Amino acid sequence: MIATWWAGLSLVMKILWSVTLTASLVFIIQSILTFVGADADTDFNTDIDTSMDGSDLSNIDGGSNLYTLRNFVNFILGFGWSAILLQESIGSVAVLILVSALIGAALVAAVMYLFKWLAGMQQSGNINLQKSAAGCEGKVYLTIPARRDGIGKVQISINGAIREYDAMTESEEALRTGTPIRVVDTLDANTLLVEEINSYTV
């Protein structure tokens, strides 16, 4: 029955079904990894870095950086299933593509907001960042541009929990994903000034 159904599909629909089902599988795997304590994401900032790290909810980056693997998967998920479900209701291919693209973008925005909210809830707690973060060590999660020329993200251990914060550096070179860092100062309620741990010698 499945073989007959598949054979009856047009080439476009076969491609659409294949891409959508693949995105759905990746989404399920990402969700499982996230909520059992791992996180897979990709930073397309100035280079391509991939990390999979143990974490709590404060490490979940649902796409505060727009160009991530997670957001790409979410867009394909929304676009693909919308196109499949609405193909018989919308006669115009152009309109179908437009509507599906809008739904995909809306799904990305919704997931970004949800994960940002979850991270904020996790980080709020009773932590005084200015008192607790100084001297803490961790690693870069999303690349930090050099000479305070932009904001990246770091994961540091505070009070026994791994937490994620925005970060800047005065280093002459960008700090890439995975670089070990130490917190030098707190710039605001959610932004740290960090340095590479081995960036100097004693």
Q: Does domain 129-196 have CATH number 2.40.50.140?
A: yes
Domain positions in the chain are 2-120, 129-196
Strand partners, 195: 182
Among 19, 22, 61, smallest CA distance to 40 is for: 61
Report pTM.
Answer: 0.47
CB 63 within 8 A of CB 112: yes
Tokens of 67: 């160009």
CA–CA separation, 170 and 195 (whole Å): 7
Condensed to tens digits (0 to 9), the pLDDT of residues 6-65 reads 888 888 888 889 999 999 999 898 888 777 654 444 443 434 343 334 344 444 444 445
The region of weakest confidence among 15-19, 28-32, 140-144, 193-197 is 28-32
Cα-based torsion angle of the residue sequence 45, 46, 52, 55 in order, rounded to the nearest 10 degrees: -50
CA–CA separation, 38 and 61 (whole Å): 11
CA–CA separation, 111 and 73 (whole Å): 11
